[in-house]
Structures are given as structure tokens and as C-alpha cells.
Amino acid sequence: MNAIAKALSVATGGNLNDWLPAPLANEVINYIHDINIMRRLIATFVMTDRNVTRPKKTSALTAYHIPDGTTATTSEFSTTTLTWTAKKLMGYTLIDEEAVEDTKTLPDIIDMVLKDFAEAIAYAEEITILQGDDSHLATAPTPQAATTANWYVHDPRVMFDGIFTAAEGTDAATSVDAGGGAFDNELVNQAIYNLGKYGRAKRDLITLVPSEQASNIRANDDFHDASKSGLALASYISGLGSAGEGDGIVTVIYGVPVYEAPFAPSGHAVVYKKDCPLFGDRRRIKFKSEEVIESDQRKYVVSERVDLKFQYDAALCLIDDLSTTIVS
């Protein structure tokens, strides 16, 4: 991040009323990726316009055995469309000029602001990708007045439906009821079965669990024993998955990596096909700064524009009613 700050001060002469140059934007985005595990666990694409429409398959073609001289059996192929519409995430702050002056160099304060904003963006992205609900009540006038039932009017979670919300939908795969029990490998096994054709290639599946479930997995001796049927736990020891994933992976069950998602809703887990959620980036990172002469302050704003859609809801399977008790 120091390199970003120094390059900015050189490239813009201290005036940041510009888009971050692509190499610098990529560094900030990489920093966000390091914080936000979900950007590594879903497919992403660059939106070329405010609204991007892509086809969504609603029925699949079927192959049949057709003897010589026989007319082929017709199979139907149909599609509908999905539209990604860019929604804005923005952070804004005012800093006294004294704070800038007393740091001796402008790049120091830029470095701090960029880091804080990157962490704020990463948090907003991750909690929305997981818990977003665009129909949730959100009329609280301030963040302090918000409740679980009534979110802040500008809560990022109202931008789009997240993975857990979509997994509760009627078009998702049949959910797995844990019956108030602890997380175990057979719940994942049932979820794979419920995913049907989407569960065939285990390398394409991902399981997300909240922190209390991840803690219980680590405390469960069964998950420490790599000889247990279906469990491949070198990841438990090394902290790395078979593909070299970093922080977040807890274990591998029947070939499916299990990741800890701290902002996942308590008492739930989800198994999904990685390319089902598709995250669109319209404005990757925009960073602005200007002086506020009348108050002797400096204004900083960072923003991005994004959206999330699901290419096939049936590739999401919720595991619900898990025990939230943390085993000591």
C-alpha cells in the first residue's frame, strides 16, 4: 500500500480527483481480495455498461441413441435473461488538515485512508455477498438506529440478494435440515446429493460455514483423522487446500473444500457450485480527494459499482438448523 500511496502522489501531484490508474486499482483490489474471502470463492466479470444482460439457460438439450435412418428426437433448449445493474458502494470521510500536515508527508495519510477504505469496502462486499437481501426492511435513519429486523436505509446488504438468501429461495436445491445437530460430513453428503447434476464435479463445489461451525470442526476429533471416510484433512494441518487456497479453508469433505465465512448467518451452512454466483464489477475502484477550504479539512471519497446474480439457483443447497453451541 505504501507503493500505491507514493505512486499516487507522483502521478497526481497530491490531487486525487481521478480514477486510480489500472495497476494501482489492481493493487487496491488485491488488498481487498486478501481481506474479503468471498471474492476468491465466486466467479467475477467486468461489466462493460451500467446494465449487462446475459442469457440464463432454463432447459437443457438431451442426447438420444438414434438408429440409422431414424429421425432424431427433438429436445428443447430455452433461455431467459439475467441483468446485472451496477450498484454503488461508497465510503466518505473528512480529515482535519492538521492531521495531514502533522504526518509530514501526504503519502502517509493516503496510505492510511486507502487501507481503511479498502477494509470498509471488503467488509461491505463480503457481508452483502453472503447475507444480502434486496427485499429486507431497511428504513432506519441511522446505522445506530438499525436493528436485525429493520436495517439502516443505506445498509449495503439491500443492494442484492446474497448466497444464503438465494439458497433459501424456492428455485434452490432442497435444503438439508440438521435438526439442531452439529455440523458433520453427512450433511455435506446429503447436500451434494440434493444438488443433483450440479453436484457431480466435486472440484467445482464449495461449502461455507459461519465461525461457530468452523470452530466446532477444528475441535472435533473426527475431523482430525484423515483416515475417516470421505475426509481429506491435510488442509487442517497446513492451512492450505488442495488447490493452494489461503486463509479460510477449514477442511475438505468428500472432495469439497469447507471455508469459514465469518459473516455467514449463524446456524446455517451452504454448498454451491462455484460459478453459480456471478459478481459483476462496473466501477472497480474510484478514489477522490479535495480540500474543504471553509472548514480547513480534506475530503476523501472511495467508491465502486458492483452487482451479484445467480446463473442457476438450483446449484445452491442450504444446510439449516445447525446447533450454534461452540464446543470448548
Q: What confidence tens digit (pLDDT) does each residue in 139-195 have?
A: 999 999 999 999 999 999 999 999 999 999 999 999 999 999 989 889 999 999 999
Which pLDDT belongs to residue 135?
A: 96
Give the max Cα distance, the chain: 87
Which pLDDT belongs to residue 16?
A: 39
For 244-296, the pLDDT digits (tens) are 345 678 888 888 889 999 899 999 999 999 999 999 988 767 777 788 888 88
Q: How many other CB atoms sit within 10 Å of the CB of residue 150?
A: 14
User: Would the pLDDT of 237 be above 70?
Assistant: no
More confident residue, 248 or 230: 248
- Per-residue pLDDT, averaged over 215-221, amounts to 81
Instruction: End-to-end CA distance of the chain: give it in Å, rounded.
Output: 38
Give counts: helices (H), strands (E), the chain.
8, 13
- Per-residue pLDDT, averaged over 83-107, amounts to 77
> Rounded CA gap, 173 and 131, in Å?
18
Which pLDDT belongs to residue 4?
A: 44
3-state secondary structure of 98: helix
User: Given the DSSP bridges, would you call strands 277-292 and 269-273 parallel, antiparallel or unpaired?
Assistant: unpaired
**How many Cα atoms within 13 Å fall on the side-chain side of residue 32?**
22
* Cell numbers for 177: 435440515
User: Would the pLDDT of 323 be above 70?
Assistant: yes
> Rounded CA gap, 31 and 42, in Å?
17
3-state secondary structure of 53: strand
**Residue ranges per structural domain of the chain:** 2-57+78-320
- E strand spans, 72-175: 78-85, 87-96
Which pLDDT belongs to residue 3?
A: 46
The Cα-based distances of 153 to 89, 183, 193 in angstroms read 13, 35, 39
3-state secondary structure of 296: coil
Nearest to 129 by CA among 319, 261, 318: 261
User: Would the pLDDT of 196 be above 50?
Assistant: yes
User: Would the pLDDT of 116 be above 70?
Assistant: yes
- Per-residue pLDDT, averaged over 199-224, amounts to 86
The second-level CATH assignment, the architecture, of 2-57+78-320 is: Alpha-Beta Complex (3.90)
For 24-47, the pLDDT digits (tens) are 566 666 677 677 788 889 999 999
The pLDDT-based confidence of 235 (bands split at 50, 70, 90) is: very low
Q: Which single residue is written with the C-alpha cell 428426437? A: 73
